[in-house]
């Protein structure tokens, strides 16, 4: 004890001395109701080292602008709290730095920065936003955030992104930070080079997707995910993934990615770890997940989407997946690309399985497993390990060359006409999701009323954009749908087929009115959301024998599909299939034109479909509404 006391005394004196070298912010005043001016004046003074001192009351502030060459220390017990009723602008943040250098925010003892998440979620008080971040750094260099608790923002606990002078942040250290209960992400890394996250907790994110603990998600191809290291940290009880890498905007022309995740824990999340690497020309580089544990996810613990052999190198080394509490496969690999999955190595992966196969693969465009290698083991509750037949799994999921060759016909809108003058309301409950195209024929001088109905998915506000073009591709009109229902009146000057380009975002949209010459353009995968007993009708012209339709469920979201002949008889069907299905059929008699039907009796949630050659990719929810070739 005699030896310890002098050491503790020296430590305390040293800490006191460090704090004393900083200028107390309260020298610029203190207002217990609104201390914004006091804190901002202190920062604007140019003083390099400031101490937000413990006055006995919370520092209640509006948005604070940081600057270069600043060390802002938060004394033990200090709480900085967002001013109630403030932050009305959708992008307002508690602390914000743009194009700054040499910033340190650190706490001594236990210091907290807190926003008012539940207020921001209340539509009667605030306009919806996912960008009311707690700490926002854009285009900054040499940033340290240390020993702070960040709670309850209306966006991300920490946001790291592009500024006006530099496409990202450089040299950022996030150390011993606890980031809790944020609306969108514990931390979002949009663009960063030389990022170190260590000894942190990113837990309990819930509100709006992606709702991850940490999300690496560049917005543009020129942004960075370079030399990013996350170690000795936990990502628990998040509504989305514990760790998410969504790299789809990056291309082969982007700077190579380098991310290492080591010694981390992901428990009780929607998913443990998700990496999506999709692009036609994928980004190169490496992602390594090592000596980490994933457990108790509500869905799959490890998800890899659109990984291509000519893209990233992905390594999973010395990791453990405890999948016993999940209702899904432990490892799910899927691809919407034609290029085969490769560049993937499992090195001593240990899986404690549930009653489902530990590994699952879904090739949504014919891609298969090629350059996948390594070792994996299945572990029982007693800790006994047996080798998993990874080679057998790879062999069972070879490329599907027929699906890779799936082709669609090009559409000439000027060569289309309604099948007849009659129409029917069809299926108003068919809920489309994501981007899709609705075609509608209209006559000059005859206004056409079209009724839409939205469906909310999640808690974000509905904000559905609709762009209308004529048959020449010229913009004709546009509108936005924000409520439950919307009625639009199409007023053409000439007889024409108009294209409604629709983006529902996360929500759904149904067409609640039928009209002659109405069709969904199914040349690309058209997204649907759940439901039952949906039917889409399409024309098979005389002389056309072959029918080719692709149905692609989302991962772990099976769908039932069937091909019905003109009498309503199913000639081909798949019940609750979680695999991509190619509904391929040859008519025994191709001498006459017939209306056939694509039926979806049941779907868990998301699925997509498209119509292949030689058919025109046009489907309607009622045969009377069909748009057909002239």
pLDDT tens for residues 34-71? 999 999 999 999 999 999 999 999 999 999 999 999 99
Query: Which whole number is the average pLDDT over 428-447?
Result: 91
Any idea which residue has 């090739």 for tokens? Answer: 363
Question: Rounded to the nearest 5 degrees, what angle is found at the Cα of 578, between the Cα atoms of 572 and 584?
Answer: 25
Residue with more model confidence, 10 or 311: 311
Share of the chain above pLDDT 70, in %: 96
Query: Which whole number is the average pLDDT over 126-144?
Result: 96
Smallest Cα–Cα separation from 186: which of 250, 269, 129?
269
Instruction: Give yes or no for a contact between 501 and 469, defined as CB atoms under 8 angstroms apart.
Output: yes
574: exposed, middle or buried (Cβ count in 10 Å: 0-12, 13-18, 19+): middle
pLDDT tens for residues 465-512? 999 999 999 999 999 999 999 999 999 999 999 999 999 988 999 988
Smallest Cα–Cα separation from 549: which of 412, 403, 387, 438?
403
pLDDT of 279: 76
pLDDT of 380: 87
What's the CA dihedral at 49, 93, 78, 9 to 10 degrees?
-40
Residue 565 scores a pLDDT above 50: yes
Q: What is the pTM of this model?
A: 0.82
Instruction: Give yes or no for a contact between 195 and 189, defined as CB atoms under 8 angstroms apart.
Output: yes
Query: Which whole number is the average pLDDT over 174-194?
Result: 98
Residue 17 scores a pLDDT above 60: no
Gap between the Cα atoms of 132 and 117, Å rounded: 9
The rounded mean pLDDT for the chain is: 93
Residue environment code for 359-394, b if the CB has 16+ CB neighbours within 10 A, otherwise e: bbbbbbbbbbbbbbeeebbbbeeeeeeeebebeebb
C-alpha separations of 168 from 95, 242, 530 in Å: 18, 23, 39
And the tokens for 272?
């443990």
Query: Which whole number is the average pLDDT over 93-102?
Result: 98
């Amino acid at each position: 004890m005699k030896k310890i006391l002098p050491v503790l005394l020296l430590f305390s004196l040293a800490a006191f001395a460090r704090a004393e070298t900083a200028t107390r912010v309260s020298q610029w005043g203190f207002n217990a109701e609104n201390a914004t001016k006091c804190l901002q004046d202190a920062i604007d003074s140019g003083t390099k080292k400031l101490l937000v001192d413990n006055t006995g009351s919370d520092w209640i502030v509006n948005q604070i602008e940081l600057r270069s060459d600043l060390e802002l220390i938060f004394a033990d017990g200090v709480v900085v709290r967002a001013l109630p009723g403030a932050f009305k602008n959708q992008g307002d943040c508690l602390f914000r730095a743009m194009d700054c250098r040499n910033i340190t925010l650190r706490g001594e003892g236990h210091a907290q920065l807190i926003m008012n998440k539940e207020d921001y979620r209340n539509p009667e008080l605030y306009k919806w936003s996912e960008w009311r971040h707690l700490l926002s750094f854009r285009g900054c260099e040499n940033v340290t955030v240390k020993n702070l608790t960040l709670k309850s923002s209306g966006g991300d606990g920490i946001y790291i992104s592009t500024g006006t002078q530099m496409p990202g942040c450089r040299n950022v250290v996030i150390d011993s930070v606890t980031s809790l209960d944020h609306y969108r992400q514990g931390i979002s890394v949009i663009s960063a080079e030389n990022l170190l996250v260590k000894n942190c907790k990113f837990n309990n994110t819930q509100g709006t997707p992606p709702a991850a603990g940490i999300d690496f998600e560049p917005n543009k191809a020129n942004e960075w995910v370079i030399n990013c290291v996350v170690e000795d940290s936990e990502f628990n009880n998040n509504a989305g993934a514990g760790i998410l890498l969504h790299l789809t905007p990056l291309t082969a022309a982007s700077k190579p990615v380098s991310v290492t995740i080591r010694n981390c824990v992901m428990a009780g999340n929607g998913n443990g770890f998700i990496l999506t690497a999709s692009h036609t020309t994928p980004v190169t580089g490496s992602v390594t997940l090592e000596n980490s544990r994933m457990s108790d996810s509500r869905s799959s613990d490890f998800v890899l989407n659109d990984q291509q052999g000519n893209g990233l190198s992905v390594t999973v080394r010395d990791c453990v997946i405890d999948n016993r509490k999940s209702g899904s496969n432990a490892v799910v690999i899927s691809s919407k690309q034609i290029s085969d999955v490769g560049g993937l190595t499992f090195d001593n992966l240990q899986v404690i399985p549930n009653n489902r196969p530990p590994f699952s693969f879904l090739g949504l465009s014919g891609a298969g497993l090629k350059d996948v290698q390594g070792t994996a083991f299945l572990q029982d509750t007693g800790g006994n390990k047996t080798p998993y037949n990874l080679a057998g799994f790879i062999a069972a999921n070879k490329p599907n060359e027929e699906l890779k060759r799936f082709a669609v016909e090009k559409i000439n809108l000027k060569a289309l006409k309604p099948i007849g003058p009659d129409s029917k309301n069809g299926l108003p409950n068919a809920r489309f999701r994501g981007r899709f195209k609705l075609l509608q024929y209209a006559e000059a001088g005859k206004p056409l009323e079209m009724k839409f109905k939205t469906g909310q998915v999640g808690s974000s506000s509905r904000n559905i954009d609709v762009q209308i073009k004529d048959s020449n591709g010229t913009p004709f009109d546009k509108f936005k749908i924000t409520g439950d229902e919307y009625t639009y009146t199409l007023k053409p000057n000439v007889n024409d087929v108009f294209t409604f380009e629709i983006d529902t975002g996360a929500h759904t949209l149904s067409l609640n009115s039928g009209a002659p010459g109405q069709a969904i353009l199914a040349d690309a995968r058209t997204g649907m959301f759940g439901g039952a007993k949906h039917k889409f009708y399409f024309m098979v012209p005389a002389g056309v024998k072959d029918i080719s339709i692709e149905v692609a469920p989302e991962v772990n979201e099976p769908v039932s599909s069937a091909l019905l002949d003109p009498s309503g008889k199913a000639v081909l069907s798949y019940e609750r299939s979680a695999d991509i299905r190619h509904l391929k059929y040859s008519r025994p008699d191709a001498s006459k034109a017939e209306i056939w039907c694509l039926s979806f009796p049941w779907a868990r949630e998301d699925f997509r479909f498209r119509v292949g050659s030689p058919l025109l990719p046009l489907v309607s929810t009622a045969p009377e509404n069909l748009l057909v070739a002239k």
